[in-house]
Amino acid sequence: MNWMAKTRSSAPASAGVASAKPGPASSGNLPATLRVSNGLKEFLWLISDVRHGRILDLGPVWQSTVSFFVDKGYRVSAEDLLRTWKDFLTAEEEHLRTAPIAEDNEKISPSLLTDKFLETALQYPEQSFHGVLAWDLLDYFDPVVVPILMKRLSSILHPGGAVLALFHSRPVERFQRYRIVDSQTVELLSAPTIAVHAHVFQNREILSLFDQFRSSKTFVGRDQVREGLFLK
């Protein structure tokens, strides 16, 4: 995949929710739950060269998202990372509560917890995926945890693979999930809060998170959500 070549020749319009591209890329008439995503559009464009590519969706599994990719010839894996993390933390708390005190000599730290979490989560062979949909989940993890997750994400991504991630520029009031409607629209679905918004990443922090990637692009929408597209 040649990101730079594509970028030079026919990259989608730069930033903003309402794309300069003709057609339905404008968000003007969309219901509030729908969001035009230039990041998604470019994500799809970047992975379009891959035949029978593999996609990892780190959000909940949705029929529309699975069908969208399957219909295009991709294979989809789903792992609701945030829910898995929450379930893991709940189990750990339960274990700590019931374990004999003598077993608790080991100090609990976020990084240790994350290492333990990754013994069962994101268990895929290296370079398994050509695209990862991270949505906004990185906002919900402790900033100490995120770089560890990023290292794993990077390892399971194929060289030339892309990550789509969203970052809120202010604390999130409502917990939402995302699913793909079409090639440039995602639907925002209110969901029971399973995690609180942990951190607002500044642009510099975002770029630092993805410093193992060879290229990155961000789009800021009218809703102040920054979409990041990162190419390994």
Partner 1 sequence: MWDKKNEAKPSSQAAEVPAPIVSTPAPEPVTAAPAARVTSKISSGLKIHGDVFGDSDLYVDGEVQGKIRLANSRVTVGPSGRVQAEMEAREIIIDGSVQGDLKASDNVHLGPSSRVVGSVLTPRIAIDDGARLRGKVETVPANPSRESSVAGDAPDSQNLRPVSAGAKAE
Binding flag, residue 84, partner 1 (CB under 8 A): yes
Phi, psi of 139, rounded to the nearest 5 degrees: -65, -20
Query: Rounded to whole angstroms, how far apart are CA atoms 95 and 43?
Result: 40
Residue 102's SS3 state is helix
CA atoms within 13 A on the CB side of 55: 27
Query: Rounded to whole angstroms, how far apart are CA atoms 202 and 22?
Result: 31
With contacts defined by CB under 8 A, name the span among 9-17, 67-75, 103-111, 131-139 that binds partner 1: 67-75
Binding flag, residue 77, partner 1 (CB under 8 A): yes
Q: Considering the complex, what minimum distance in angstroms separates the CB of residue 64 from partner 1?
A: 9
Binding flag, residue 79, partner 1 (CB under 8 A): yes
Query: Rounded to whole angstroms, how far apart are CA atoms 210 and 228?
Result: 10
Binding flag, residue 61, partner 1 (CB under 8 A): yes
- Yes or no: say if 224 and 172 are a contact pair by the CB < 8 Å rule: no
Footprint (CB under 8 A) of partner 1, residues 193-232: none
Q: Considering the complex, what minimum distance in angstroms separates the CB of residue 117 from partner 1?
A: 13
- Yes or no: say if 230 and 163 are a contact pair by the CB < 8 Å rule: yes
Among 47, 66, 137, 225, binds partner 1 (CB under 8 A): 66
Among 43, 74, 213, 230, binds partner 1 (CB under 8 A): 74
Cα–Cα nearest to 137, from 86, 71, 77: 86
Q: Considering the complex, what minimum distance in angstroms separates the CB of residue 48 from partner 1?
A: 14
Among 70, 89, 96, 196, binds partner 1 (CB under 8 A): 70
- Yes or no: say if 80 and 58 are a contact pair by the CB < 8 Å rule: yes
Binding flag, residue 78, partner 1 (CB under 8 A): yes
Size of the site for partner 1 (CB under 8 A): 20
Residues in contact with partner 1 by CB under 8 A are 52, 54, 60-63, 66, 70-80, 83-84
